[in-house]
C-alpha cells in the first residue's frame, strides 16, 4: 500500500524541482528532450493484425491467417538494442537498462556525491529513505535507497516495476520521481523524490496542520492491472492495517476494490486521528474488521472457496456498527467513508 504524504501550506521546506521553458525538470538532466509515454490506464490492448489470403493449390482453396501480434506488454520494458547501447554509454548499468530501459529515456544517472544526506527519515523491508539536499539545485529531496540483488533477475524486476509505474503516472496527487542515482559499475540505486514535510502518521497526529496537496507515495508493491485479462496474484500485499478482508482470507483474484478499501482505512485514520483497525496479526485484523463492518453471512461461508475461509471464520456473527462508531465524523465525509468501507467480503 502506498503511503500518503502531505504538504503543509505554510511550510517553506517543501520544495519542487525548477522547471524550464519546455516544462521539463532541470534536476532530471533531460537529454534530447526525449519523453516517456504517460498512461492513465494499464489496459493492454491487442490488435488483430491477421490478414486472410486465398491461395489455389491442387485445385483447392486454402486460407492462411496470420497470428495475432501483441503490443508491448506494459509490465515489461522492451527497448531496441541501439537504445540500450546509448543508455549504457550514458552511464546507466546494463542490468538497469534491461529491466526498465523505457523509464530511463530522457535521463542520465545522477552521482551520489551531488547529494548531501541530512537525516534518515524512514525504513522498510525493501528500502531506506533519507532527507537530503540536492547540491546542484539546492532543493531538499527524499532519497530512497532500494534493496535488491542485481544478479537476481526476480529482484531486479521487482525493483524496476516501481520505477516504470512512477514514470508513467502523471497526476498532481502522485509524488514525482525526479531522478535516479547510480553508475555504470554500481550495484546500488537511489530513487530521488520531491520532499514532503509530513507522512500519514504525522498528519493524523497533528490535526492542526493544514494541507491542501496530499500525495500518494511508495509504489514498491504496485503492479499493472488489466480488468480484461485477470490472472492470479499474491494475497501478501498491503500493510496489515489497510489490507482488505478478501486478501486476509487468501484471495488471489481481485481488483481495484482492495485499493478502495485501503483508501477508506486511510480516510478514517485521518478523520479519527488514529488507525481505525490496528491489528497485530492477520487473525486479529480480520476480527477487527468483523467487529466494525459485520461478519459475512452463513450462506457466504458455505459457498466461499477462499483458502483461509474456514480458518478465519468467527465463532459468533458480528453486527455492523460503522455509523455508531464514527458518528462524530464530519457529515460531509461520513457518506464517502461508508461507501469505501461498508461492504462484506
Quote the CA–CA distance of 337 and 168 in Å, as a whole number: 29
Strand partners, 19: 25
| Per-residue pLDDT tens over the stretch 5-27 | 555 433 333 333 344 444 443 43
User: What is the DSSP code (8-state) at residue 147?
Assistant: P
The Cα 134–Cα 188 span in angstroms is 18
289-313 pLDDT, tens digit per residue, is 999 999 998 888 888 889 998 888 8
pLDDT tens for each residue of 59-80? 444 444 344 444 545 444 567 8
Between 139 and 208, residue with greater pLDDT:
139
Q: How many CB atoms lie within 10 A of CB 202?
A: 14
What whole-number percentage of the chain has pLDDT above 70? Answer: 75
Query: Given 3.40.50.1240, 3.40.50.300, 3.40.50.150, 1.10.510.10, which CATH number is that of 225-341?
Result: 1.10.510.10
Q: Does the domain spanning 76-196 belong to CATH 3.30.70.2080?
A: no
List the one residue out of 85, 127, 89, 129 whose CA is nearest residue 109: 89
Question: What is the grid cell recorded at 171?
Answer: 497526476
Residue 151 has pLDDT above 90, yes or no: no
CA 182, CA 124: separation in Å to the nearest integer? 20
Which of 138-142, 179-183, 313-317: highest mean pLDDT?
138-142
Beta strands 190-194 and 177-181 are antiparallel
* Res 318: pLDDT: 92
**Residue 25 gets which letter from DSSP?**
B
Q: Where do the domains of the chain lie?
A: 76-196, 225-341
| The pLDDT value given to residue 211 | 60
| Residue 36 to residue 192: CA distance in whole angstroms | 17
Res 294: pLDDT: 92
Q: DSSP of 48-96, one letter per residue?
A: ----EEEEEETTEEEEEEPPPEEPPPTTS----HHHHHHHHHTT--HHH
With both helix axes pointing from N to C terminus, report the angle between 153-168 and 94-104 in degrees, rounded to the nearest 10: 20
What is the share, in percent, of the chain residues with pLDDT greater than 90? 31
Residue 250 — pLDDT band, cuts 50, 70, 90? very high
Convert the pLDDT of each residue in 112-133 to its tens digit: 999 999 999 988 777 899 999 9
144 is in an annotated binding site: yes
Reported as a pLDDT band with limits 50, 70 and 90, residue 221 is: confident
* Residue 315 binned pLDDT confidence (cut-offs 50, 70, 90): confident
Q: How far apart are CA 325 and CA 327, in angstroms?
A: 6
- Using CA atoms, how far apart are residues 345 and 324, in angstroms rounded to an integer? 21
- In eight-state DSSP terms, residue 38 is P
Half-sphere exposure of 92 (CA within 13 A, CB side): 24
In the numeric block, which cell numbers belong to residue 53?
Answer: 489470403
Tell me the range of 146-155, 201-210, 237-246, 336-345 where mean pLDDT is highest. 237-246
Is residue 36's pLDDT more than 80?
A: no
Quick check: helix, strand or coil at residue 232? Answer: coil
User: Is 205 within 8 Å of 112 (Cβ atoms)?
Assistant: no
User: What pLDDT is stored for residue 163 in this prediction?
Assistant: 92
pLDDT for the residue numbered 78: 62
| CA 106/CA 28 separation, integer angstroms | 8
Amino acid at each position: 500500500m502506498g503511503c500518503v504524504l502531505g504538504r503543509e501550506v505554510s511550510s517553506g521546506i517543501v520544495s519542487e524541482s525548477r522547471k524550464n521553458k519546455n516544462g521539463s525538470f532541470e534536476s532530471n538532466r533531460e537529454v534530447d528532450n526525449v519523453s516517456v509515454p504517460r498512461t492513465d490506464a494499464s489496459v493492454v490492448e491487442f490488435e488483430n493484425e491477421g490478414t486472410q489470403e486465398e491461395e489455389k493449390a491442387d485445385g483447392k482453396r486454402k486460407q492462411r491467417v496470420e497470428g495475432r501480434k501483441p503490443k508491448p506488454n506494459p509490465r515489461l520494458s522492451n527497448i531496441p538494442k541501439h537504445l540500450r547501447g546509448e543508455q549504457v554509454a550514458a552511464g546507466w548499468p546494463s542490468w538497469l537498462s534491461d529491466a526498465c530501459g523505457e523509464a530511463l529515456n530522457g535521463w542520465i544517472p545522477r552521482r551520489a556525491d551531488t547529494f548531501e544526506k541530512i537525516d534518515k527519515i524512514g525504513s522498510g523491508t525493501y528500502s531506506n529513505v533519507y532527507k537530503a539536499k540536492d547540491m546542484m539545485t539546492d532543493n531538499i529531496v527524499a532519497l530512497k535507497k532500494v534493496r535488491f540483488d542485481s544478479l537476481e533477475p526476480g529482484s531486479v524486476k521487482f525493483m524496476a516495476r516501481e520505477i516504470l509505474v512512477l514514470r508513467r503516472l502523471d497526476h498532481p496527487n502522485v509524488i514525482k520521481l525526479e531522478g535516479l542515482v547510480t553508475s555504470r559499475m554500481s550495484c546500488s540505486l537511489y530513487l530521488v523524490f520531491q520532499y514532503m514535510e509530513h507522512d500519514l502518521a504525522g498528519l493524523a497526529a497533528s490535526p492542526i496542520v493544514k494541507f491542501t496537496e496530499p500525495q500518494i507515495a511508495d509504489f514498491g508493491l504496485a503492479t499493472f492491472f488489466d480488468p480484461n485479462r485477470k490472472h492470479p496474484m499474491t494475497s501478501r500485499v498491503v500493510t496489515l492495517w489497510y489490507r482488505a478482508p478478501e486478501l486476509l482470507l487468501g484471495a488471489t483474484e481481485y481488483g481495484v476494490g482492495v485499493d478502495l478499501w485501503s483508501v477508506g482505512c486511510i480516510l478514517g485514520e485521518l478523520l479519527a486521528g488514529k488507525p481505525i483497525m490496528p491489528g497485530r496479526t492477520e487473525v486479529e485484523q480480520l476480527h477487527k474488521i468483523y467487529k466494525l463492518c459485520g461478519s459475512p453471512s452463513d450462506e457466504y461461508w458455505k459457498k466461499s472457496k477462499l483458502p483461509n475461509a474456514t480458518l478465519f471464520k468467527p465463532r459468533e456473527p458480528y453486527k455492523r456498527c460503522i455509523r455508531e462508531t464514527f458518528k462524530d465524523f464530519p457529515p460531509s465525509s461520513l457518506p464517502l467513508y461508508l461507501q469505501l468501507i461498508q461492504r462484506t467480503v
